[in-house]
Structure 1
Amino acid sequence: MPASATTSRQAPVAALRFGRLAAMGTVAALILFAGVWGSWATAHNVMLTKGRETGTIKVTRCAEDTCSGPFTPGSTGARARASAEIAHTVAVRKGQTYTVVVKPGTDEVVRSGPAGVLYSWVPLGGALLLASVVVAGGLRLTRVAWVLAGSGVALLTAAFLAL
């Protein structure tokens, strides 16, 4: 069989392989980008606190989606508020006091400190786990997939233990 016949048969296989790698690489990158995007909405308030109002909130009331209570300022320039809102999650309980950062221009607060930082990056932890499946199955890069999965599990476990 001539060499040109073998090469012409391998070209479609190579093109399909490249297409699979490009498609799965794009999907994995989009999943990771979505995880960072979802986390950054809260993380930038918690991590970049310079110039932001910080303090504590004592939770006095909880509804389905939010809890509220008085905000006590802890930084220069912060003003006391009779009522500030924090998202009602399993980590927020009535009667507890939490260190928080006020989202600029609102009366909404998010947790600060190590627990707040880890909790804000939870969407990225889920994205890392999901992307590891795509990387292992679609790209056939098992070592990279294990690193992604391990990072996601570590992030989620640390957030769970911190809260």
Structure 2
Amino acid sequence: MIPAMPASAARSRRAPRSPHPLLHYGRITAMGTVTALILIAGVWASWGTAQHVMLPRGREHGTITVTDCADGTCGGPYTPLSQGSRPRERVVVEDSGAVAEGRTYTVVVKPSSDEAVRSGPGGMLLAWAPLGGALLLASVVVAGGLRRTRPAWLMAGAGVALLTAAFLAA
């Protein structure tokens, strides 16, 4: 201990707690709920696409050659690769930064529709990209609201790794 430092400053390394335990536990409960909701929303947003990529059994597999992009979707002719799949004149995929005109992508067709999602490692990582963003956002809440910096850094690192992998795989 430094001689000029008061004894109370040397003992306390943690941030001071709220004067009322009810406020302390209320903050923890509120921020924990916000964190959980952010993560649930990230999984929910990802699962809509990821289920088709991760559970492809019984679905139509094929390739799409992108011929045009407009209004948030790209489309082109579909060539089947799996048995029971039929060729189609036009199938649409979501227009993201990972889709370019003139390129061919492997896809899984959503049941009872002409919508497709990219398959393979790139499609899997792109499907889970919303979860990566949710991890980044939740890490800020965990660090600031819950005052847990180590778990926050782990969450942020996982989010950055997921988004980086999705960007590189696309």
Report sequence identity in percent. Answer: 65
Aligned partner of 1:146 among 137, 144, 153: 153
RMSD over equivalenced CA pairs, Å: 1.3
Aligned partner of 2:102 among 84, 95, 99: 95
Aligned partner of 1:137 among 144, 150, 162: 144
- Secondary structure in 2 aligned to 1:25? helix
- Secondary structure in 2 aligned to 1:49? coil
Match of 1:27 in 2: 34
With normalisation by structure 2, the TM-score equals 0.88
In 2, distance between residues paired with 1:19 and 1:84?
A: 50
Match of 1:64 in 2: 71
User: Can you list the C-alpha shifts for 1:90-142, whole angstroms capped at 9, x where unaligned?
Assistant: 11111110000001110011100000000000100000000000000010111
In 2, distance between residues paired with 1:56 and 1:25?
A: 43
Unmatched 5+ residue regions in structure 2?
1-16
The structural deviation recorded for 1:76 is 1.2
Aligned partner of 1:120 among 127, 139, 153: 127
Q: Quickly say closer, same or farther: Cα 1:119–1:11, change in 2 above 3 A.
A: closer
In 1, distance between residues paired with 2:139 and 2:106?
A: 34
Unmatched 5+ residue regions in structure 1?
1-9
Match of 2:9 in 1: none
User: Can you list the C-alpha shifts for 1:63-103, whole angstroms capped at 9, x where unaligned?
Assistant: 13111111000111111101111111111111110000001
Aligned residues: 154
- Secondary structure in 2 aligned to 1:124? helix
Kindly provide the amino acid, as one letter, of the partner of residue 61 in structure 2.
T
User: Can you list the C-alpha shifts for 1:4-40, whole angstroms capped at 9, x where unaligned?
Assistant: xxxxxx9961111000000000000000000000000
Q: Which one has the bigger helix percentage?
A: 1
With normalisation by structure 1, the TM-score equals 0.92
Match of 1:4 in 2: none
In 1, distance between residues paired with 2:22 and 2:73?
A: 52
Match of 2:3 in 1: none
Match of 1:159 in 2: 166
